[in-house]
Structure 1
């Protein structure tokens, strides 16, 4: 029987199976347009299917042994970032360069952490995408892998018995399709974020290389448009804040890994809602991938956080709040000469608390919220520390990971302040002695004053609670 006669006897489902088998032949295999035309019995548009097959064929040939290909995410993000075609003008670059110079001088009066080794710079939206996408990929890959694995399992469970062999054989391809859809969504989120962020440290995560301070002039202009604040003051404040953030991560070189590891710890705990995915797979139409795309984008596939995930997110929020609280206090002191500093600071806080549409989309995509809920409390802690032990004593807490304030210190800065004041006096009490001293301090007693079993108000004292004099009469 001729090959064409055998194809005519095939059902549409069998013809689709043949096409998928053909896909495994690699990029050099040709897809027959007449064969695609026969898929009309399945309600699939042949032209659309031709395009899908070509993209999948090329992607599969290039990513067969590399896991999820992030090239699609990069192309998507750059397409969105470069849509308006605006670049950085010479005037914008000059204004911000001058702001960085003065901000560096002011910042050196507000912190003992040294200046950057590399000069700060302006960056286009596309440049920000190029610089930060590797970090976004690292943070999102655990979720992408989880979705791809779950999609494979769900489709295996939903496939008819006669197609089990085909689906199992195409498991790697199905994983790639799910991962590619996720990568496409990530590209959209990062591309839209590039139109919102004003500076390198704007999101709170260490997206730039250590010691790299940048401002995006396009977004800086948009941010200040409705604030009715003089442009030069706004530039000085944003430049100071960005330099403070960059200086901190350059000084505490362990901090970047500390933040990234906490984010990935949270992401690794994400497991796809198999019930929602199986329900989606039961009605999944290969010719209509938009439903799967919408499900990934909305976050419906990510179930309610587990207790472990909630704990991981709380640790991350406390860490980000500790970092941003320090940045806020240092920026506040460095920009005290600016008449509009308080107004700008409140605008920045409000903007960080609300977040933009792209940041909210990132929360839906990977379940990660980047708005530190405790930034005000952390800033109050750093303010108390600065008042107690000065700038040098405050900044020394970033010298080693073990010295960094904890969540308990944010809750009750008095413990941290008492410990630092004791250290400033040359005293290094043991932890249990420190607790005793703090308890006496909070009780209104003087440090070092005996109490309890040591003599004060003991059962061996007089009725008025005074300790007996142990010296002989």
Structure 2
């Protein structure tokens, strides 16, 4: 569906003395080879979807600006409508740029990442990353990559809309096509606006990831040596049939310093995802008449899948990300209800105005800290 080609990341380039612990070319090749093809769509229908998604990506951002008050003077450009392989290439480029930027400030950080990979070759790590990308490549509807090149002055990053996945999801949900396409564009356009309207956000996210990587101490073997104890503690602590999930196990394996660094990344990600989910539904009734039906069916779809799919989602952290949408949206909704959108926008004024992970679950605490 009219894919825009992307330049593959060059292995061996990048931060920390020109070394990468992961061969992104191998990751891309693995993912493209393993991915399933998209749905069969008549050419005329495919071309219509591509044209509509480009148009909606512009219209959606205008609606988001009207609601949030952010980025009023920034240019708006159409998103890139891509197929699954092109999304994989774009995602790999973005991840390579993000990790290079996060690691570039200190050679010590690079060494710790080498330790974390515990002797895996760059090629082996690339194969593992490719398996993840292959799975996600059939699921992802869209993505804003803050580290991609837009080619337009005043705009950084690329908005990617994965046409075959959007069409497949719309069909499976049984909702009006144009309503669903606009709804997806509202979410991704919100992410584009977050990063372009808040000048410090991109660098702050990069630095926060760098701090997390800098705190990763010990080899993979040392981490795995703690795993049996951690799993016993998790089983002892679990209530009923619930479990801590993959993210909970990772947190239990970490030192207190690592958890603080991870908390910061989780808080930022949860805010960004939840804010986008809130905006897409708040804008929705004016421009997406069937928004309530779409939200209800899409929420059920997020919970679905067979046993293998649910296992993969848990291992890859997809379920943790789904919880982020709900938690972040609840935080945003509570704050907007209490102090309005202008009061909520205080989160974008400085890094120390971002909510902590604890405040995401207790938005009243954030309101007290920021608004007195």
Query: TM-score, with normalisation over the residues of structure 2?
Result: 0.67
| Cα shift at 1:263 | 4.0
Other-structure match for 1:241: 187
Other-structure match for 1:146: 115
- Alignment of structure 1 residues 244-263 onto 2, 5 Å: 244-263=190-209
| Cα shift at 1:363 | 7.1
Q: Establish whether residue 198 from structure 1 lines up as the match of residue 152 from structure 2.
A: no
Match of 2:221 among 274, 282, 287: 274
C-alpha distance in 1, partners of 2:222/2:334? 49
- For structure 2, the 5+ residue unaligned runs are 1-10, 13-17, 104-109, 150-155, 226-245
Match of 2:67 among 87, 107, 110: 110
Match of 2:348 among 398, 401, 413: 398
- Alignment of structure 1 residues 92-241 onto 2, 5 Å: 92-114=49-71, 116-137=75-96, 139=99, 145-146=114-115, 150-151=118-119, 178-201=121-144, 206=146, 208=148, 210-241=156-187
Q: Alpha-carbon deviations, 1:226-264, whole Å to 9, x = none? A: 212111111111111111111111112322333344445
8 Å CA contact retained: 2:274, 2:332: yes
C-alpha distance in 1, partners of 2:60/2:122? 43
- For structure 1, the 5+ residue unaligned runs are 1-58, 152-174, 279-297, 422-433, 435-473
The 3 A distance-change label for structure 1 pair 399 and 345 is: farther
Q: Establish whether residue 306 from structure 1 lines up as the match of residue 231 from structure 2.
A: no
Other-structure match for 1:332: 281
Q: Establish whether residue 345 from structure 1 lines up as the match of residue 304 from structure 2.
A: no
8 Å CA contact retained: 1:197, 1:216: yes
Q: Which has the higher contact order (CA 8 A, sep 6+)?
A: 2
Q: Establish whether residue 75 from structure 1 lines up as the match of residue 29 from structure 2.
A: yes
C-alpha distance in 2, partners of 1:131/1:195? 14
Q: Establish whether residue 384 from structure 1 lines up as the match of residue 334 from structure 2.
A: yes
C-alpha distance in 1, partners of 2:210/2:169? 30
C-alpha distance in 2, partners of 1:130/1:404? 31
Match of 2:267 among 318, 323, 331: 318
- Alignment of structure 1 residues 354-393 onto 2, 5 Å: 364=315, 371=321, 373-393=323-343
The 3 A distance-change label for structure 1 pair 304 and 372 is: same
Q: Alpha-carbon deviations, 1:132-178, whole Å to 9, x = none? A: 21333455996872365x34xxxxxxxxxxxxxxxxxxxxxxx6xx3
- SS of equivalent to 2:173: coil
Higher Rg of the two aligned structures = 1
C-alpha distance in 2, partners of 1:362/1:346? 20
| Cα shift at 1:310 | 3.8
- Alignment of structure 1 residues 281-292 onto 2, 5 Å: none
C-alpha distance in 2, partners of 1:355/1:82? 16
C-alpha distance in 1, partners of 2:310/2:204? 22
Other-structure match for 2:153: none
Q: Alpha-carbon deviations, 1:365-386, whole Å to 9, x = none? A: 7x89851635434323322322
RMSD (Å), alpha carbons? 4.2
8 Å CA contact retained: 2:268, 2:354: no
Q: Alpha-carbon deviations, 1:305-353, whole Å to 9, x = none? A: 1233444333322221111121122222211233321232344455567
C-alpha distance in 2, partners of 1:124/1:332? 26
8 Å CA contact retained: 1:273, 1:303: no
8 Å CA contact retained: 1:76, 1:191: yes
Other-structure match for 1:468: none
